[in-house]
Structure 1
Amino acid sequence: MEIMYLMIGLSLFMAIGFVIAFVWSVKTGQQEDLITPAMRILQEDEKNTNL
């Protein structure tokens, strides 16, 4: 039964940590634009003609 108290405490600690990390990422603008980074890989690079 003691392991249950430990596991519940650890899971609550981890859940609170994930919520804090998510709120921080939203407030700092990490979740602003999710489409552009995915499309950037499809764009061709400009050719370097200075060689």
Structure 2
Amino acid sequence: MMSSLTFLIPIALLLGLVALCAFLWSLRSGQYEDLDGAAARILLDEDTPG
């Protein structure tokens, strides 16, 4: 029982650290800058003929 915990806890901490790094990378690269634009873009009709 304890040997499995000593194996699983570091893996869980490592996965949490990877998720945190991915989230911080997405913040710094501007993924959350224009949330309203993406919501309004779905309403635009771009399929109208020329």
Q: CA RMSD in A?
A: 1.4
* Aligned residues between the structures: 49
Q: Name whichever structure is richer in helix by fraction.
A: 2
Q: Percent of counterpart pairs with the same letter?
A: 33
Aligned twin of 1:2:
3
Superposition TM-score, scaled by structure 1 size: 0.78
Q: Alpha-carbon deviation of 1:46?
A: 5.2
- Where does the alignment leave 5 or more consecutive residues of structure 2 unmatched? none
Whichever residue aligns with residue 33 of structure 1, its letter is: D
**Structure 2 matches for 1:16-35, cutoff 5 A?**
16-35=17-36
Q: Runs of at least 4 residues of structure 1 off by over 3 A? A: none
